[in-house]
Amino acid sequence: MQFQWYPGHMTKAKRQMQEDIKLVDLVIELVDARIPVSSRNPDIDTLGKGKARLILLNKSDLADERKNEGWTEFFKKKGYYVVRMDARNKGSMKQVSAIIAEACKEKTERDLRRGIKNRPVRAMVVGIPNVGKSTFINTFAGKACAKTGNKPGVTKGKQWIRLNKNVELLDTPGILWPKFEDQSVGLRLALIGSIKDDILNIDELSLELIQILREEYPGVLKERYGMEEEGTPAEMLEKIALNRGCIKKGNEVDYAKAAALVLDEFRTGKLGKISLEKPEVEA
């Protein structure tokens, strides 16, 4: 699912979220574990002020495990509860439930002191498009009750999903927008496939990816495409094309096909578990 954002969208989405956040005790924010900074919108820190905060490092199955650990520590130090997960996998949800209980312990104890017993924790899910919000809600709730393709700004009657006796989840996720102003953010979102490919130059994007991989994950391209990691990224793309038989009529190298292939293999994890952001740089 890819979005086109306009200032009008953003104002509406923000207003909606301000209203929704008032109703909850806990904000569950999903980020993409491969780019935890670029896949966040810092406005959520102001919007979620005073609420318990949980960050889910989602798609961690595609990200570098050591960096996942680093990011977990990074966010914990900033006062968030953190869980690494694969939103498609029911197995991750036990840990999420346990952390929700922990994150809301203070609220539960406060309720008890006031004589309120068994009032469930109310939570909402937020995040930029494509981080896995709908998938998470579906898996967590255990049935297909989250509608995919939620449009920002569409107001419906509030629906709560009762997850267990302790937790209720707002059924519609809050959609945040990425930080478009920052070019490196745009590049990283494009690399993971969250920005429409047809508005980007695929060849350029694949060259950026080759450059990053060569610097940060030496040996990965060699192993996958059986070539030496030498020369310019364009020369390397040519070697990938030859290795994979990306040849056009007239024996010409099909760069576009090779570019699409290397991007797809990165996005689907065929090049291995790779993260594009490191906590020590972003700290």
Indicate which single residue of 132, 152, 174, 178 sits in contact with ligand G4P (rule: CB under 6 A): 132
Binding to ligand G4P by residue 265, rule CB under 6 A?
no
Instruction: Please say whether the beta carbons of 203 and 259 come within 8 A.
Output: yes
Nearer to ligand G4P, 70 or 174 (CB): 174
User: Is 59 labelled a binding residue?
Assistant: yes
Which among 279, 198, 281, 215 is positioned nearest to 34, based on CA atoms? Answer: 279
Contacts with ligand G4P by CB under 6 A: the residue count is 17
Binding to ligand G4P by residue 174, rule CB under 6 A?
no
Binding part of the chain for ligand G4P, among 114-122, 127-135, 157-165, 229-237 by CB under 6 A, reads: 127-135
Binding to ligand G4P by residue 129, rule CB under 6 A?
yes
Q: What is the DSSP letter of 230?
A: -
Query: Taking the complex as a whole, how short is the minimal distance between the CB of residue 267 and ligand G4P, in angstroms?
Result: 8
Binding to ligand G4P by residue 154, rule CB under 6 A?
no
Distance CA 241, CA 4 (A): 32
Query: Taking the complex as a whole, how short is the minimal distance between the CB of residue 209 and ligand G4P, in angstroms?
Result: 17
Residue type at 274 in one-letter notation: I
What separation in angstroms does the CA of 33 have from each of 112, 122, 125?
A: 36, 25, 16
Instruction: Please say whether the beta carbons of 66 and 216 come within 8 A.
Output: no
Binding to ligand G4P by residue 61, rule CB under 6 A?
yes
Binding to ligand G4P by residue 59, rule CB under 6 A?
yes
Nearer to ligand G4P, 4 or 251 (CB): 4
Binding part of the chain for ligand G4P, among 18-26, 59-67, 209-217, 220-228 by CB under 6 A, reads: 59-67
Residue type at 175 in one-letter notation: I
Query: Taking the complex as a whole, how short is the minimal distance between the CB of residue 190 and ligand G4P, in angstroms?
Result: 14
Q: Tokens for 177? A: 């927008």
Instruction: Work out the angle at residue 250's Cα, subtended by the Cα atoms of residues 244 and 254, and round it to the nearest 5 degrees.
Output: 35
Indicate which single residue of 36, 48, 70, 127 sits in contact with ligand G4P (rule: CB under 6 A): 127
Instruction: Please say whether the beta carbons of 229 and 222 come within 8 A.
Output: yes
User: Is 134 labelled a binding residue?
Assistant: yes
Binding to ligand G4P by residue 147, rule CB under 6 A?
no
Instruction: Please say whether the beta carbons of 40 and 166 come within 8 A.
Output: no
Beta strands of the chain (E only): which ranges?
Answer: 26-32, 52-58, 81-84, 121-127, 160-162, 167-170, 174-175
User: Which residues are known binding-site members for GTP?
Assistant: 58-61, 130-135, 174
Q: Which positions lie near ligand G4P, rule CB under 6 A?
A: 1, 58-59, 61-62, 86-88, 127, 129-135, 148
